[in-house]
Amino acid sequence: MRTKLSFALMLALLSVLTPALSEAQFLDPLTVQFTADKSDYTRGEQVLLTLQVTNRSALPVTFSFSNGQRYDFTARDASGNALWTWSTGRTFDTASQQTIPAGATVTWQETWSFSADDGRPVLDGAYTVTGIFLGNYLGRSGSKQGEAAITLTTPDTLQATFSTDKSSYGLFDSAAALTLTVTNTGTFPVTVLFNSAQTHDFSVGNSSGTVVWTWSNGKTFDPTPWEQVLAPGESWQFKGTWSLNNNNGVRVPAGTYTVKGSFLGSYYGQVGTKGGEAQVQVRGLL
């Protein structure tokens, strides 16, 4: 009787342990962890991408690669469009193998500078970055990758200043010299888009707010859009003259006038229009 009970107990124990043993036997020995160094970035920063593969088993694991490429990183926009792939344009060696000892971790790191595969900077917004492990090995199960959500914002680093050569002009003054200066105060280059060959404008308004003169009046500009890069610490200076006449070529009456300089470029992170103004006196006498 005791023998029968012992045999039945052994069968019961085997029925419980067998699924666990079978599951452990085929358990994927490697885990993959992917991280970005932070979640929010400002333009000019780079994303540090880290892919870690850990052997959680008690035995070494050897994995093989179809070529020398062991991993890849990608970036997608909020619509899921792939904008950047680390391996694009790279060449790799022939097929290879690598072994991870029991309990060990292999780490790979690369950076993304928020540029697309064509080298152009991406727009501000939300992105998903992904790290992909490409090794094949015994017991592999499912996709070996991870992803992280990040955002890019661009601070407005362009500052504009405007000045006139004097604050008061008399009867014998023939013109006012105007200067508009745009400076990149940031640590990263700014790509500025102009909708035509016209990069700036100057205007003059009387005390009632009516614009009496515009620098661009009567001028023609090539309508082809174009871009130019303003490097960190660099300035663009635009100069012009106001002959103290209105758009009809007639000398303006004595009075107070507001002279403005306007920058017509647009760029990532722009907040409002760029320019400046100054008040000047036009005198009827000396």
What is the rounded distance in angstroms from the CA atom of residue 232 to the CA atom of residue 85?
Answer: 27
Question: 114 pLDDT band (50/70/90 cuts)?
Answer: very high
Residue 26: per-residue pLDDT: 52
Residue range 45-51: mean pLDDT, rounded: 98
Q: Is the pLDDT reported for residue 15 higher than 70?
A: no
What's the token pair of residue 149? 């959500």
State the pLDDT at residue 214. 99
The structural architecture, per CATH, of the domain 28-153 is Sandwich (2.60)
Output the CA–CA distances (angstroms, integers) from residue 94 to 69, 80, 97, 136, in the order listed. Answer: 9, 31, 10, 15
Q: Are strands 274-282 and 168-169 parallel, antiparallel or unpaired?
A: parallel
Q: Tell me how far apart the alpha carbons of residues 48 and 67 are, in angstroms, rounded to a whole number.
A: 24
Q: What is the pLDDT of residue 47?
A: 99
The CATH class of the 158-282 domain is: mainly beta
Segments of the chain assigned to CATH 2.60.40.2360: 28-153, 158-282
Q: Side chain identity at 33, as an amino acid letter?
A: Q
> Average of pLDDT values for 161-173?
96
Give the C-alpha separation, 249 to 177, whole Å.
Answer: 17
